[in-house]
Structure formats: C-alpha cells, structure tokens
Structure 1
Amino acid sequence: MPILSEKDKQEISKRLSQMIRPVKLLLFSQKLGDCQYCASTEELMGDLCSLSDKINLEKFNFITDKDAVDRYKIDKIPAIIVAGENEKNEIIDYGIRFFGIPAGYEFASFLETILMVSHDDSRLSEKSKKDLKQLNKPVHIQVFITPSCPHCQSAVLMAHMVAYESNMIRSDMIESMEFPDFANKNLVHVVPKVILNDSTSFEGALPEEQFISNILSVGKSSE
C-alpha cells in the first residue's frame, strides 16, 4: 500500500508549489540489516521529490558512505538532513536533522521545515533573532517525539527554526518508538521531551520566548 494517497499528493503538491529556493534532502539508510523504517522512509522521500522540482534528494548508505556519515555526524538511521544549496550546487548544512521516518503529525513539521529553508526565513521574531546572536557556545537540541503526538510537531519546528537561524545550534528530531533504547537512556517518558546539550531538559511544546530562554541558558556564558 502506498504511503501517500493520491489525495495526499495533491495537497502536498499545493504546499510545495509555495517553494522559492531549492532544498536538498540528504537521506541516510541501508538496504540490509535491521533498519525497520529505512525502506519506507526512502519511498516517502522519493514520492515527495516527485511532487516538486525544487526538492533534490541525495542518498547515502550508512555502512559504506563513511565519509558522509562522519561529516554529518549520523549515528542512527533512517536519518534525513534538510539542507540548502548555493549557486555552485554546494550543500548548506543548517544543522537540521530528522532521525526516524517523518510520519503522522511529524510529516507536517517536515513539510514546514522544507518551506522554511526554501523561503530562507526562520519565522522567528526579531527579538528572538537578536537574542540568538548572544550565543557563544554550541547548543545541541534533541526533540523526542512519537508520530501520534499532536503537540510534538510544534516543538520540532521550533527547534529547527532556531537551528536555521543560528549556526551555533544543531537540532535533531528523534522518533522515540524507532529508537527505544536511546529514548530509554535519555529517560523519555513523556513527549515531546527536549534535551539541550545532554544537560538540561524540559517537556512539552513551549512558546517561542520560553524556548529561546532555555537555549540561552545553556549556550550563553558570561565570560
């Protein structure tokens, strides 16, 4: 059974028609092994690319493409990087990662992330943009979600918005059900759960101002 119905494709095509700049998707997966959702993720990305000539897909094998795996710090699959491309067709990595198939409610945040990159606009307030310029330490955001969580997409999109705005931030969406051992290691009992630099965490989808405040608490030092 196809992942996207014809009705889905029509609606998605309308959304993607709003794209301005091309977007590059880097997909890390593997054919063999125990990656349960790699094939489905690859099919979904292929369907998505067929709906817009502004989306370009590049595939990497998690086992054999070690240079790319190391360069982009991919430690679990399936993984998707939503990136940009410059005029020389060079990849612009904004630090935006999806670990696990972006299905259920997370497909909406995936589409919104693509549109954000294509429009070259984080959609953050001017105050938030100014505040993020105060960061002087790298911040790694991990947002643990499940596809059936209606509030998770807001947390994921907010994390990707700040990552797009600041090159000091990397943002990972992590599908807890696909990576249960990793979720258990990080004591994920409620989603969305957001972890910053493996030292600070909070649960729920926070308003923009509170989210930025948490980012600054770990990424801004007085020295």
Structure 2
Amino acid sequence: MPAGEEIKGFIETLIRISNNDHGLSESTVKELLKLNGQVRIEVIVTPPCPYCPYAALLSNMFAYVSKIYGDGNIKSFIIEAYENPDIADKYTVTTVPTIAINGKVVFVGLPYEAQLLGIVKRLASSYF
C-alpha cells in the first residue's frame, strides 16, 4: 500500500479506472493509440513528495488508455525510492519524481501531459 502523499495518486487511479475516466485529452488518446513499439514508464517517487502522485497518475492513465483502447503496449511502474534503492541508484535519482522510459531517465519533475506524450512517442521503439 502506498504511503504518505502517494496514497492520493493510488486512490485517484482507482477512482478513474472504476469510472472509466482517464482524464486525458482526446488528442493524447489518439496519439497513444498510434504508437508502435513497447513503452515501459517508471516513475520513481518518495512518500513526502507532493508532485509524485500526479506524475504517477499521469503514467498510470497512459497505460490504462493503452490497455483499454489499444494493444496494451504501455506499462506503468511506480517505484518507491526508499524501498527500492537499487532502482533509485540505477537511475541516479537525486530528485523526485524521476521518470524513466525504456530504461532511460527522460524527465525529472512533474511533466505536463503533452511533454510526457512527446517523450513517449519519441522513445516508443527503443524498448530495451
């Protein structure tokens, strides 16, 4: 069970999925469904981080849309840095949220939907 601020993103993910309300723009959904290739989004978080739940939610909704409307080629993993120091070390995490896609750190901080979409589109075919 998520701790600290992370519980907010977890509960919001559950609510959105149960209501079939991903909250993404129509244009983002269309772009996500056109992706070729696999995408593994890892969001590294910590319990006290106030921005991490929103980064986690965005990643989760990208994966949800991919699974419900597409072929499920986007996977979202929310990784708690304190409980997984090996992964935090692998990505040299010093600030959270840190977002890695297909094994590469691509963003530190909270991205806008369009920013994350652009990165996902660029890296969709670079699955490790």
Both structures adopt the same fold (TM-score exceeding 0.5): yes
Partners of 1:173 and 1:200 in 2: CA distance: 14
Residues 63 and 76 of structure 2 are in contact (CA less than 8 Å); yes or no, is this contact kept in structure 1? yes
Q: Residue deviations 1:1-45, cap 9 Å, x none? A: xxxxxxxxxxxxxxxxxxxxxxxxxxxxxxxxxxxxxxxxxxxxx
Segments of 4+ moved more than 4 angstroms: none
Deviations 1:73-96 (A, max 9, x none): xxxxxxxxxxxxxxxxxxxxxxxx
Unaligned runs of at least 5 residues, structure 1:
1-100
**3-state SS of paired residue (2:95):** coil
Whichever structure has more helix as a proportion of its residues is 2
Amino acid across the alignment from 1:201: V
Change (3 A) 1:220 1:177: same
Aligned match for 1:216, one of 97, 121, 126: 121
Partner of 1:157: 57
Q: CA separation of 1:220/1:179 partners in 2, compared to 1, >3 Å: closer, same or farther?
A: closer
Larger strand percent:
1
Shift of 1:187: 1.0
Mapped to 1, the partners of 2:73 and 2:21 lie a distance apart of: 17
**Identity across the alignment (%):** 40
Q: Alpha-carbon deviation of 1:199? A: 2.8
Candidates 98, 105, 112, aligned match of 2:5: 105
Q: Label 1:116 to 1:199 Cα distance change in 2 as closer, same or farther (>3 A).
A: same
Higher-RCO chain (CA-CA 8 Å, sequence separation at least 6): 2
RMSD (Å) for aligned C-alpha atoms: 1.3
Note the alpha carbon deviations across 1:27-72, whole angstroms, 9 max, x for none: xxxxxxxxxxxxxxxxxxxxxxxxxxxxxxxxxxxxxxxxxxxxxx
Cα deviation code 1:138-166 (max 9, x no counterpart): 10000000000001111000000100001
Q: Which residue of 2 aligns with 1:47?
A: none
Matched, 1:176 2:81: yes
| 1:192 has 2:92 as partner | no
1:109-135 CA-to-partner distances (Å, cap 9, x unmatched) read 010010111011211000100111121
User: Which shifted more, 194-203 or 137-146?
Assistant: 194-203
Matching residue's letter, 2:95:
V
Q: Which runs of 5+ in 2 are unaligned?
A: 67-71
**Higher-Rg member (1/2):** 1
Per-residue deviation, 1:200: 4.4
Residues in 1 aligned to 2:111 and 2:22: alpha-carbon distance in whole angstroms: 17
Whether the 8 Å contact between 1:103 and 1:147 is mirrored in structure 2 is yes
Which secondary structure state, in structure 1, belongs to the residue aligned with residue 106 of structure 2?
Answer: strand
Task: Name the CA distance, whole Å, in 1 between partners of 2:111 and 2:125.
Answer: 19
